[in-house]
Structure 1
Amino acid sequence: MTDPMAQLHTRGRENFTELVEGGGARLDALFATIPALGELAVGTVYGHLHDRPALDARTREAATLAAIVAAGMVGPPLSVHLRTGLASGLAPAEVCEVVVQTAAFAGFPRAVSAADQLNRLFEGHGLPIPPPPSPREVVLAHLAAEGGVPGEFPRVEVQAVGPDRVLVSCFGDDPAPGAVLHCTVTDGKVTSLTVYRPS
């Protein structure tokens, strides 16, 4: 019989190494003194929680980053989850917006400490400071400039689904969307927009 915690740790390690380049070596270095803590932490966070189906990876990482900022952790947890957040499809501007959102509930000192650390982390990753607008912001601005979506759709839901992709669900009177726009954002501009309508 295989030890369930060992299985979780193995799966967590595999998940982490898929998300972070050189992830195995990073984990070994971080938990060199206390390997049992690494087994527990990696098994829980990247083995168990990472695979739970209720949240997609982007949402889970955004929630994790908010908790890290709220707890005032600006060391390895923020560094690690910036990496895994970006690898899970968060745009740099979305990471920044998580910090802004957290400031209102956890306090400005913790958010400012996180911002200070993110300056160094963004620089170390070669990310622009400040980051360009999030894909969702770009698409909302594009829709506003174009006069929105056709008049038959008085309500839209705009959701980023990746660091460069946004879905716009367009609703009329029917509870199901009458159209879905798939937008790709590159360098702060909508570079492709495909409309899908039910047949």
Structure 2
Amino acid sequence: MNDQNESRLERGKRALAAIDGAAGQNVIDALEDIAPDFSRYIFEFSFGDIYSRPGLGLREREIATVAALTAMGNAAPQLKVHIEAALNVGVSKDEIVETMMQMAVYAGFPAALNGLFAAKAVFAERDLP
């Protein structure tokens, strides 16, 4: 996924589009009037540098991200974006639920519950049974 001729910004925009589609762009757009530099940092660092590294595919990166955001227990808006992203890159509904249940062992039941309720909302929006 790493093309040496692309800038970090271009690479990040391409990666974000592949992962999140409109949901990720909506976050970036929402920052434009308050912190446009921060949106550039998200593109360049998060997606241009980290998500574009070899070693893990987008599917595995999104499972890790869903796990981390679930474990935090207080990042529901970001978790919902990454649940959408996980579904976009081929993670199944069951895999997302299992990832969140696993987090109960390490982050506690409240964090796992918050994650599961975020997932339930995303699944309902997507009409997933």
TM-score (norm 2): 0.83
Q: Which residue of 2 aligns with 1:30?
A: 30
Matched letter for residue 18 of structure 2 = E
Where is the strand percentage greater, Structure 1 or Structure 2? Answer: 1
Give the deviation of 1:107 after TM superposition: 0.7
Q: Secondary structure at the match of 2:21?
A: coil
Higher relative contact order (CA 8 A, sep 6+): 2
Count of residues in Structure 1 that have an aligned counterpart in Structure 2: 123
> Structure 1 stretches (4+) deviating beyond 6 angstroms?
none
Give the deviation of 1:96 after TM superposition: 0.7
Give the deviation of 1:87 after TM superposition: 1.5
Q: Which residue of 1 aligns with 2:89?
A: 88
| Structure 1 gaps, min length 5 | 1-5, 129-199
Distance 1:90 1:24 in 2: 17
Distance 2:116 2:25 in 1: 27
Q: Deviations over 1:83-119 (max 9, x none)?
A: 2111221111101111011111011111111111221
Q: Which residue of 1 aligns with 2:100?
A: 99
Q: 1:34 to 1:90 in 2, by over 3 A?
A: same
Residue identity over aligned pairs, in percent, reads 28
Give the deviation of 1:29 after TM superposition: 3.0
2:13–2:43: 8 Å Cα contact kept in structure 1?
Answer: yes
Aligned ranges for residues 151-170 of structure 1 at < 5 Å?
A: none
1:66–1:98: 8 Å Cα contact kept in structure 2?
Answer: yes
1:58–1:90: 8 Å Cα contact kept in structure 2?
Answer: yes
Where is the helix percentage greater, Structure 1 or Structure 2? Answer: 2
Q: Which has the larger radius of gyration?
A: 1
Over aligned residue pairs, what C-alpha RMSD do you find? 2.0
